[in-house]
A and B are shown apart, each in its own frame.
Chain A
Amino acid sequence: MLGTVLLTFAAITVLHAAFSTYEHLSHLKAMGRPEGSLPIDIIVEALFALICGTLGASLNAPPLKEISWAAEMRKRNIDEMDSRLGFASFVNRGRNLFSGPSSQTKLK
């Protein structure tokens, strides 16, 4: 939750800095000095928003997953590795076990 809060705060701050820049530049243009530099506090605000946003995104990240090959192998089981589906026989007891009562023959 702290991550989301920081991230939203950083987004708002960036937008605020952007709007301030726009206002400042239009102010300079109105005064006839379009080449002036930005005031230092807008730059500081933008950098602060960057740091907050980075912190918020890192805290917001989903939990880390294992990527080693051995960790992947721990998730599998022998039935999957030995399934040999290309050679699988589809004539087995499954039709008698699973198909349900309607297709079972009744004993007389």
Chain B
Amino acid sequence: MSLSHSALEKLATFRVNNTRASQETFQNASTVLKSFKRLGDDGWAVLEQLFLASVDVGRLDVADECLRQLGKQFPHSPRVDVLTGIRMEATESPDVVLEYYAQLLDADSANAAIWKRKISVLRRTGKIEKAVEELLQLLDTFYTDVEGWLELADIYTSCNQYIPALQALSHVLLLAAQNPFYQLQFAETAYTAGDIPLALKAFLVAVEMSERDLSDKSPPVGISVRAWLGVKLCSRRLLLNSSPSASNTPVPKNLHLIEELATERVLGVYSSKNSASRAPEGRDVVVGWVGDR
């Protein structure tokens, strides 16, 4: 049975959006092993996707078969080397894998994909300082790598070092300027770091970016909800006690009005007019929280 058209479309969407839905990919693509030649060029991309999904899900037999087919078709490809490394990571000890990567990096020292795998293994085995050092070197060489800056921010956040995380995220904002998700991450990291005026400004930018093209007054969906909740949180804190800003961000003038607007938008999401008959989940909690001054 060959892949249906909708399954292929879904897999293509996963490839474009960098989704890591391994269980779903495995279910959709597991029949591709018999019929990938019919898919043409896309077949190899789907095979790679199936390989990664099956390693994630634990089906190493399927993964080995995919790797064998890919190796047969592309004999000396660096991309297949990365996949071989990933397969080794699943079963071998970290030292063996690091040695394999060191050998590949000796041959070609600017292979970004292998470098990233090495950093991932170092982070996974707990050698965080070495991982950060290597990651900083990688980002020195490949500045425009958004993934690398996000990984650096994630490592710093996991060690509770929020100021360096903010610095890494500011590079992300430079590189991916119109992305509301990264703006939201920056805002939430700023809030956690204690810089409330900066967090309020960033939450407002996130709201503007995600609701820019809406002309009607429909309630917020998706990350707008999270951004509006952040605006409410920051503005309420600033009204109660003005906190100093480590980045010297000025506080907006009409803080009361901003807070009222945020309350209105948040309550709009949890309003019982939206859903069919019952109130949405969590409505009592939200109403209690926003009404509490």
Contacts and interface: CB of A to CB of B under 8 A. Distances in A.
- Most B CB within 10 A of own CB, among A85, A92, A98: A98
Nearest to A103: B58
A74 B210 contact: yes
A101 interface: no
Interface stretch (A16-24, A52-60, A63-71): A63-71
A29 interface: no
A86 B147 contact: yes
A81 interface: yes
Interface in B1-59: 17-20, 22-23, 26, 52, 55-59
Nearest to B22: A94
Q: Which has the most chain A C-beta neighbours within 10 Å: B52, B56, B89, B90? A: B56
A59 to B, nearest CB: 26
A92 B58 CA distance: 9
A27 B110 CA distance: 77
A27 to B, nearest CB: 51
Q: How large, as a class, is the contact surface on chain B?
A: 35 or more
A71 B26 CA distance: 29
Contacts of A96: 58
A41 interface: no
A83 B213 contact: no
Interface stretch (B98-106, B113-121, B280-288): B113-121
Given A77-B222, A79-B20, A95 B211 contact: no
Contacts of A77: 222
A82 interface: yes
Interface in B124-144: 124
Interface string B85-101: 01001100000000000
B151 A84 contact: yes
A97 B209 CA distance: 38
Contacts of A71: 213
B179 interface: yes
Interface stretch (B180-188, B197-205, B246-254): B180-188
A85 B49 CA distance: 11
B212 interface: yes
Nearest to B214: A70
A81 B179 contact: yes
B22 A80 contact: no
A80 B19 contact: yes
Contact of B116 (A73, A78, A86, A90): A86
Contacts of B116: 86-87
Please give me the 6 A-B residue pairs with the lowest Cβ-Cβ distance, nearest first: A95-B58, A99-B58, A81-B181, A86-B116, A98-B57, A68-B213
Interface of A: 68-71, 73-74, 76-92, 94-99, 103
29 contacts: A70-B214, A73-B181, A73-B210, A76-B17, A78-B184, A81-B182, A82-B185, A83-B19, A84-B150, A84-B154, A85-B52, A85-B147, A86-B112, A86-B113, A86-B116, A87-B147, A87-B148, A87-B151, A88-B120, A89-B120, A90-B52, A90-B55, A90-B89, A92-B56, A95-B57, A98-B22, A98-B57, A98-B59, A99-B58
